[in-house]
């Protein structure tokens, strides 16, 4: 029963449950039988909801959205026997949900843990917010022993003279801000961005994307907003939304909440892979601006925003998500929910002109952990923090939580969402082309002998 799946295109409910009842029906109390009956009733209602969702999405414009109706699968996962028995040990699926932010396919894995001190005062760190980046790095090292080659932003699979490049990700605790602000129409863009931005670091052009939308009880209007955002993200990255799954799991999520994950696959010629192997001291770091926090660091942001009464600085400021971000025209909630920039077209254009040796997607771990991932051994970077204007939202986060500079640079993108390592000649060309172009780029530093990232 724990792995039961109901699909409107497969079997009927009575036929589905018939084989299962003999194995445990004699052991079910009246309470458990009633719970099963409720679950069946919920599933029947859910099938009607997903039919309506399919109709809504089919009416969307564009070839990507037109694929959704026939390829999206609706799944209702019924409460497991362990749920009815009220076992204290969580099921494997519950553990997977609990670890949705902890386990990522790329090297910048982070893990959820409790703050040792439990301190909610000033001087916050990412660990105080429940995320231990060091533990995540240790997990990566252990996994690498079992799966050699792990650690890149995308996984490469050989196919003739090409590589398929795959990536998977979610949007982490930014979803909590979506629930609190009611902004759901751009969270799908974030979802697509997190995967396609990863695979383009190898020079791969995204081919297709699939999504997974799980919720406690399907709200058709809300789900439509989320998935239309996914469609928008696919259009921005010029890839097809090939399909997806909508899962309704009432015993896993709070009412009105949902979780998202996505999977992208791209392709690149083997002789065109961007792998960082040719990087040398003297190469230049070119930074592409972000729209704000993107989809990382929200455990720390939410610690600031939600528990402001427990944090001295925020208690004094009295700000809420509906208040204006100091010095800006947008609210704090709008600034934090700004969708992640999708860099695919911009990066592929720069690659096509030559001189690009390595690319780092600045996500969890910020500059400190992500930029060194593209360097050969014995090389590091010096970054000039005055070479671009740090967005107001980061200044607010740092001031409100009294977050140290080092913690900010290890948690947030600080206004730079993608870093390209290029030859000095290519850097001159890029800066000239972008001076008055459609997008901006900054010379933020250079490669030096040594290891790690230092700041000037």
pLDDT in tens, 354-364: 999 999 999 87
| pLDDT at site 414 | 94
pLDDT in tens, 228-240: 999 999 999 999 9
Find all residues with CB under 8 Å of 242, minimum gap 6, and list them: 67, 71, 208, 209, 210
| pLDDT at site 141 | 66
Confidence bin at 53 (pLDDT 50/70/90): low
Can you tell me which residue has the tokens 């999520």? 253
Picking from 246, 260, 259, the residue whose alpha carbon sits closest to that of residue 43 is: 246
| pLDDT at site 438 | 79
| pLDDT at site 83 | 38
Residue 194 pLDDT greater than 60, yes or no = yes
In terms of average pLDDT, the best of 299-308, 349-358, 398-407 is 349-358
Residue 309 pLDDT greater than 70, yes or no = no
| pLDDT at site 143 | 61
Q: Which has more confidence, 123 or 372? A: 372
- Using a 10 angstrom Cβ sphere, with 0-12 exposed, 13-18 middle and 19 or more buried, the burial of residue 322 is exposed
User: Averaged over 52-58, what is the pLDDT?
Assistant: 59
User: Averaged over 93-109, what is the pLDDT?
Assistant: 35
Q: Domain map of the chain by residue range?
A: 88-108+151-271, 284-455
| pLDDT at site 400 | 79
pLDDT in tens, 160-176: 999 999 999 988 888 88
Angle at alpha carbon of residue 450, lines to 447 and 456, rounded to 5°:
60
Q: Which has more confidence, 106 or 366? A: 366
Residue 368 pLDDT greater than 80, yes or no = yes
Question: The domain 88-108+151-271 is classified under which CATH number: 3.20.20.70, 3.30.1330.10, 3.40.50.2300, 3.40.50.620?
Answer: 3.30.1330.10
Helix (H/G/I), strand (E/B), else coil: 420: strand
Q: Which CATH architecture has domain 284-455?
A: Alpha-Beta Complex (3.90)
Strands 111-112 and 131-132: antiparallel
């Amino acid at each position: 029963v724990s792995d039961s799946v109901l699909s409107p295109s497969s079997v009927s409910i009575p036929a589905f449950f018939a084989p299962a009842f003999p194995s445990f029906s004699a052991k079910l109390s009246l309470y458990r039988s009633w719970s099963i009956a409720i679950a069946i009733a919920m599933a029947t209602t859910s099938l009607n909801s997903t039919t309506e969702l399919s109709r809504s999405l089919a009416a969307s414009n564009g070839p990507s959205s037109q694929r959704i109706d026939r390829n999206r699968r609706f799944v209702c996962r019924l409460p497991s026997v362990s749920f009815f028995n009220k076992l204290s040990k969580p099921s494997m699926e519950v553990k997977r949900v609990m670890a949705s932010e902890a386990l990522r396919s790329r090297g910048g894995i982070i893990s959820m843990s409790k703050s040792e001190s439990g301190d909610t005062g000033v001087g916050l760190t990412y660990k105080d917010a429940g995320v231990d980046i060091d533990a995540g790095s240790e997990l990566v090292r252990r996994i690498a022993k079992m799966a050699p080659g792990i650690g890149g932003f995308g996984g490469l699979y050989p196919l003739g003279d090409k590589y398929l490049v795959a990536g998977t990700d979610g949007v982490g605790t930014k979803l909590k801000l979506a629930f609190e602000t009611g902004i759901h129409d751009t969270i799908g863009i974030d979802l697509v961005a997190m995967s396609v931005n990863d695979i383009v670091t190898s020079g791969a052009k995204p081919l297709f994307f699939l999504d997974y939308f799980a919720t406690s009880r399907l709200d058709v209007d809300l789900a439509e907003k989320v998935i239309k955002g996914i469609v928008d993200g696919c259009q921005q990255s010029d890839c097809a939304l090939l399909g997806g799954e909508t899962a309704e799991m009432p015993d896993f999520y709070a009412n009105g909440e949902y979780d998202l994950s996505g999977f992208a696959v791209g392709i690149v010629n083997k002789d065109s892979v961007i792998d960082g192997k040719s990087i040398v001291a003297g190469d230049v770091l070119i930074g592409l601006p972000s729209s704000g926090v993107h989809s990382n660091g929200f455990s720390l942001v939410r610690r600031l925003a939600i528990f402001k009464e427990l944090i001295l600085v925020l208690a004094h400021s009295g700000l809420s998500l509906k208040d204006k971000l100091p010095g800006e025209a947008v609210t704090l909630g709008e600034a934090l929910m700004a969708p992640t920039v999708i860099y695919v077209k911009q990066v592929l254009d720069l690659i096509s002109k030559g001189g690009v040796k390595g690319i780092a997607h600045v996500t969890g771990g910020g500059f400190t952990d992500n930029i060194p991932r593209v360097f050969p051994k014995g090389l590091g970077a010096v970054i000039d923090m005055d070479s671009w204007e740090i967005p107001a939202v980061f200044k607010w986060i740092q001031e409100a939580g009294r977050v140290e500079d080092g913690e900010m640079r290890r948690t947030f993108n600080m206004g730079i969402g993608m870093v390209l390592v290029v030859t000095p000649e290519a850097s001159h060309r890029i800066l000239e082309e972008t001076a008055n172009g459609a997008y901006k780029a900054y010379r933020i530093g250079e490669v030096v002998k040594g290891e790690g990232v230092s700041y000037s």
